[in-house]
Structures are given as C-alpha cells and as structure tokens.
Structure 1
C-alpha cells in the first residue's frame, strides 16, 4: 500500500508553505515543498550563470544537483551540501524559478525527484500542480488561495519585518504577473484539481486554515 498524500496547491503567497509544514508536523508526516525544489534549481543555475532559456543545460543541472530538506520549526534546505535556506526567499530566486518552471523538460526532470518524497506514514506536498500532475491519486487535496491584494500585503509585512525594503504596488504587480504566468503556462499550469477542496484564506489566520485542513483528514 502506498503512503497517503495530502496535496496543498495554490498561487504564490497564499500561505501554502506555512500551513503545509505545520500540518505535516502535527500529523507526523513527511513534507515536500515543491516550490523549494524549483527555487533550489534556480539558485544552482544563478550560481553557475546558466542561461535561463537554455533548457538542456538547465536539465543537466537539475539531474545532478543534490537536495536535502530538514523540516524543523523552519524549513532548512541544502544544495550540494551548502545551506541555501536564506537564498530561497529572495525575489531574484522566485522570479528565476517562475521562468524555468514553464519549461516542459525541466518539469519532467524534477517530477521523479518530487514523487520520491512519498513514504510512510504519509506526505504533505505543497506547490502549484501537486494534486493535478505530481500526485493525481492523492487521497486528500486542498486548493488554498487568497486575493492578490491580501497576498501582496502579507509579503510586504514579511519583508519589512526582515528589514528588507519593499514597495507594495510593485509586490502586487509581481504577484499578478506570476499568477498570470503560472496559470497560462502550457505544461502543468496552476489549476484546481477537480476533487480538491477550495479554501480562501483572505480573511482567515494560519491557525484557522490549519484546523480546516486537519478536519478534512480526520
């Protein structure tokens, strides 16, 4: 019997990462942050100065990079032995990840890497296409979203709290542009699985969202 899977999909800034990590912790399940896989690859490419349009070169890096996830209070990610956690949240990383995520050969190269995370007692997987492409047979699926304005506000607060200069209109524009790119891409576009539960977190705090997700499983 294969391990049960809970997929949490949705647009950037909807709180998928926080919710998924805390739900995994409460359940004692494994955790897959698919966005970090793409972001880690983006960091590897930027370090090697690989052209983000050179699909064969990107695939080669994807197949040879070694990733490890350590899921404590915060997610820690190592790339080829180097801790890259602090680089994952950079806007340059996110933008590069979004650009390479539309390339079919890159998605194919990373698909098996993601499916390998499925093991007992279970897996919580968050991303854009976990319930539609990576784990279409998942027993539990959630589509978590929030308004673009609310997501921009949350991102703005996060950056300011970290002491990083941020511009709210610019962040909103970035989020809307990324939503468009993710929804319109030819391969595995951002879409809600037909059997997923729709959850709008615009007016909910993290605890309320977690309680709602756990109620679906229990």
Structure 2
C-alpha cells in the first residue's frame, strides 16, 4: 500500500461515513480526519456567539478568527479555540444549523485549506460531503457510501439515543430529509459522488463487511 495514501469517503448523513472511515483508519494505521466535526465546531461557535445562522458575513468573519484542531493522538477529540467540543458538537441544534453554515463559500474555503493541510502530513482518510469532489480531488481512492433513507434515519436516531438525546425516530427522519435537500441543492460543493468514486450501498451490511471491501480496494494502491 502507498505510504502516502489519501482516501476520500463521501455520502449523506447516516450512511456510516464516520464509523467506516474510523475503522478503515485503524486497520490501515493511517490518520482519520473528521471534516464533519470541523464544520460542526463552526456551527456550535456560531450558535454560542448568538450570531444568526443566516448572517453570512458575520459567520464568515468569525470563521477567520476560529482555530479548529483535531487531536492526532485521539482523532475523535475536537478542539475549537482550545476548548474540547467533542460532545457539544453532536447535539441536535448543531445538526440543524451545520448544513446551512457549511454552504457559505467563505466557511468552506477556510476549512478546505485546513483539511488539505492535514492531508499533507501523510497517509489519511477523510469523510464528509465533498472530499472526493473538492477537498481531495486527486485522492487515491474515492468511496461514496449510501444507504436507504429508513436505515440512515434509524442509525442517526440510535446514535442520538445512545448519547442520551431523546428524539423520536420521526423527528430524526424529518431532520435528515431536510439536511439531504440542503446538501444536495446547495450552490457550493453540493453532495454528489465524484465521477471516479466507487458507490457502496451499506443497507443491511455490517461495518466489518464494508471495511473489508474498502481494505481490499487499497491493497493495490
């Protein structure tokens, strides 16, 4: 395997991107860059700063003054301006705000720079909405994960439930439908597979089965 391998994993919410990417990173011994967490950190800071999420100029100014760092010894930990926000960025309010904020060109421009800088450090796997199309268009392997809407909503509901957040499955489904629409229709970097991405439907498959498929794909790179 290429010691400087770059793997891009894209797909809609609930498709299993983060879970799969983390597992692949562990198997291959490469660094996992959680780009979604970086956008969530910006959404969290926007909300905490009482900046209306539709005030693009104010959000843009704020992001230029924000430092987001991933803990390289524990890729799950996310720091925003020195504060560990790993748990805070997963609350439903952040989930509802992140798609709109992530669509702002100035936000994406800043975070893409930071994400590419992470990739320059060595072998990495990144997951998000536009890794293969925008962030790492020259990635060695591009995967687009998907799953049925019902399974994606259930996975997201279970994640929230296990973290102590009680929402109905119907609420999660409606929220996911809204996010899918925003992500797919936004003018900047919409959610679409890269032309050379391999599309993997994870419906009914275990994490291990998907990870095994991706590991096989990296063998000849």
Shorter-normalised TM range: over 0.9
Give the conservation status (yes or no) of the 8 Å contact 2:70–2:77.
Answer: yes
**Is 1:64 aligned with 2:65?**
yes
State the shift of 1:2 in Å. 10
Question: Mapping of 1:103-118 within 5 angstroms?
Answer: 103-118=104-119
1:52 alignment partner, SS class: coil
TM-score, scaled to structure 2: 0.92
2:87 corresponds to: 86
Q: Give the 3 Å change call, closer, same or farther, for CA 168–72 of structure 1 in structure 2.
A: farther
TM-score, scaled to structure 1: 0.94
State the shift of 1:120 in Å. 4.7
Consecutive unaligned residues of structure 1, counting only runs of 5 or more, are none
Consecutive unaligned residues of structure 2, counting only runs of 5 or more, are none
State the shift of 1:4 in Å. 2.5
Give the conservation status (yes or no) of the 8 Å contact 2:31–2:75.
Answer: no
1:54 corresponds to: 55
Give the conservation status (yes or no) of the 8 Å contact 1:30–1:119.
Answer: no
Q: In the aligned structure 2, how far is the partner of 1:10 from the partner of 1:97?
A: 16
State the shift of 1:208 in Å. 0.8
2:119 alignment partner, SS class: coil
Offset from partner CA, 1:123-159 (integer Å, 9 cap, x none): 1010000000111111100000111110111122222
Give the conservation status (yes or no) of the 8 Å contact 1:76–1:85.
Answer: yes
Question: Mapping of 1:34-49 within 5 angstroms?
Answer: 34-49=35-50
2:185 corresponds to: 184
Give the conservation status (yes or no) of the 8 Å contact 1:130–1:136.
Answer: yes
Q: In the aligned structure 2, how far is the partner of 1:73 from the partner of 1:82?
A: 15
1:135 corresponds to: 136
Q: In the aligned structure 1, how far is the partner of 2:27 from the partner of 2:41?
A: 26
* Aligned-CA RMSD value: 1.8
Q: In the aligned structure 2, how far is the partner of 1:15 from the partner of 1:135?
A: 20
Offset from partner CA, 1:29-59 (integer Å, 9 cap, x none): 1221111111000111111111212222212
1:23 corresponds to: 24
Q: Which runs of 4+ in 1 moved over 6 A?
A: none
State the shift of 1:74 in Å. 6.7
Q: Give the 3 Å change call, closer, same or farther, for CA 213–25 of structure 1 in structure 2.
A: same
